[in-house]
Structure 1
Amino acid sequence: MSALVWLLIPVAAAVVALLWGTWAARNRKAGDISELAGYARFREAMERSDSGTGVS
């Protein structure tokens, strides 16, 4: 019985590694458009703001 437990440990680790690898390699392009739009708004806001320090 203890040999079976020792066999299950690497099998469980392999399953966890497989799940993590699948999750890490997922397609994340769905949110890029909104993130890029948010970054463009951030850049525009930074260009508009003037801190008054005279340093450009």
Structure 2
Amino acid sequence: MAALAWLLIPLVAVLVATVWGSWAARTRATGDGSSLADYERFREAMQKSHSG
């Protein structure tokens, strides 16, 4: 039984590493589209208030 445990430990470690690796490499949505548009509107508003 001890030999089986020693064989299962690396197997479990490989499975955990595989799950962690796939989770870490996932594609993430940045959500920058709306914040960049907000920033552009802010810049335009600031330029209008200082230009005239």
Shorter-chain TM-score: what band? 0.5 to 0.7
The answer to whether structure 1 residue 2 and structure 2 residue 21 are counterparts is: no
What is the total number of aligned residue pairs between the two structures?
Answer: 44
Q: Identity of counterpart residues, as a percentage?
A: 45
* Residue in structure 2 matched with residue 20 of structure 1 by the alignment: 20
Gaps of 5+ in 2: 46-52
Deviations 1:7-31 (A, max 9, x none): 1011100000001101111122xx2
Q: Which has the higher helix share?
A: 2
Q: Which runs of 4+ in 1 moved over 3 A?
A: none
